[in-house]
Structure 1
Amino acid sequence: QICRRHYSMMTSVADAAQMALKECQKQFETERWNCSTPPQPRRHRRSVFGRELLSGTRERSFVYALSSAAVAYAITRDCSLGNIVGCGCDQTWPQRAPFNQSFDWGGCSDNIRWGVEMSKLFVDAQEYERVNLNNNKFGREAILSGMGKKCRCHGISNSCESMTCWRTLPSFRKVGRILKRSYSTAVQVHIVKKYGRYLLRPRDRDRRSVGNRYLAFLRMSSDFCATTGRTCDADKSGPSGCDVMCCGRGYVIKTSYVTAKCGCKFSWCCDVTCKSCNETRVEYVC
């Protein structure tokens, strides 16, 4: 019913799914868990990321937050482009900025409030797990916290006697980075029932609450050591380093020879000429 009622948004929602997948793989490309999408029998396909996301792990918290953010982002973007029926610029910003600011709000601010509300409608519609709802909201808040501002000057000869500004979406890459940092500080929780409500409580008793300030997860992740065939960096000691990436199993060195363009020069007008050079490439593979 939601999809039929908001049919003009379905392209945005589908695009959001692809955005979330690509950004997840970008943020984790140098780690053991790299947001891979293993093949699964259709009858068992509850998540494109496999069974790991069905078990309440830290990785699941990230994917839920990122997916919720992607839906809000895509709907807001397409709303500003005029591709969605029934929405437009955000008119709720005050017409004048605070007294200590030298600009006025104007132009067409990206309607992030609309995008957030529509994300709630789509993403939270059939969700009952308290942890997932917390992480969905956290993802939407990441966009709100990353909203930017663009301005245009007005005046004779570009004197900028006055300035009009409007709110703009951050890049989705920035949203991904915000959530990746939050993934590192996610809090393990358990669920308690109090006064008829289900609440999240940190397993670490030194923490007072989770609120909406942290991603939350229920269970510790596996070691993700099925990394045979993954490339690694022999000179690094972090997640992308061979010792960590290969889980201590060692790695092999693969050498390949390729032909690449080199010594490119611009010729007036208008051509670029390049030489062909032979290069030796070395890869370290778990």
Structure 2
Amino acid sequence: MSTDCRCHGVSGSCAVKTCWRTMAPFERVGVFLKDRYEGSVQVQGRSKRKVRRKEKGQRRVPVGEDELIFLNKSPNYCLEDRRLGVVGTRGRRCNRTSAGPDGCNLLCCGRGYNTHVVRHVERCECKFIWCCYVRCRRCESMNDMHTCK
């Protein structure tokens, strides 16, 4: 959170100053949380108030108040695990050219992807005919679709 202020007064003077608290930009919050997630510490709960690091060589190092902690490791979302309700990414559509979370390199977890040619039919060049209907042509296009192996 940060504090923003605005001055009010004649000719820009600061006769009255109004301040309010604002949230940080969403992207900055996301980057902060991702950094915490990547540096998170697995702990063992001994009681409601006492936890210690699960890694044997690090147990004597106290857990900091600003550290993100977790009890159980997250499942591998790349692979199907019906017991946990994880569907995996096999067969998921991906974007071959994207470097983001929808990109084939990231989404397919290094397994690669298949490319299929898909025929797409849609209405196009629609015109309003007086009165009272719309006439359209049928347009076909062939598109590449990529799915995770």
Q: Please list the CA deviations of residues 107-145 of structure 1 after superposition, one character each: whole Å capped at 9, or x if unmatched.
A: xxxxxxxxxxxxxxxxxxxxxxxxxxxxxxxxxxxxxxx
Q: Does residue 203 of the first structure (1) align with residue 65 of the second (2)?
A: no
Q: Residues 182 and 258 of structure 1: is their aligned pair in 2 closer, same or farther, counting only changes over 3 Å?
A: farther
Q: Does residue 232 of the first structure (1) align with residue 94 of the second (2)?
A: yes
Q: What is the one-letter code of the residue matched to 2:94?
A: C
Q: Please list the CA deviations of residues 229-282 of structure 1 after superposition, one character each: whole Å capped at 9, or x if unmatched.
A: 3233435678655344224443222445587xxxxxxxxxxxxxxxxxx98754
1:104-253 maps to which residues of 2 (within 5 A)?
Answer: 147-160=1-14, 163-170=17-24, 175-192=29-46, 198-204=49-55, 205-206=57-58, 208-224=61-77, 225=79, 226-235=88-97, 241-253=103-115
Q: Determine the C-alpha separation between the residues in 1 that align with 2:10 and 2:99.
A: 57
Structure whose residues are more often strand by fraction: 2
What fraction of aligned residue pairs are identical, expressed as a percent? Answer: 39
Q: What is the one-letter code of the residue matched to 1:181?
A: D
SS of structure 2 residue aligned to 1:181: helix
Q: Which runs of 5+ in 1 are unaligned?
A: 1-146, 260-277
Larger Rg: 2
Q: Determine the C-alpha separation between the residues in 1 that align with 2:22 and 2:39.
A: 27
Q: TM-score scaled to structure 2, two decimals?
A: 0.56
Give the number of aligned pairs.
121
Structure whose residues are more often helix by fraction: 1
Q: What is the one-letter code of the residue matched to 2:51?
A: L
Q: Determine the C-alpha separation between the residues in 2 that align with 1:159 and 1:254.
A: 65
Q: Which runs of 5+ in 2 are unaligned?
A: 80-87, 123-139
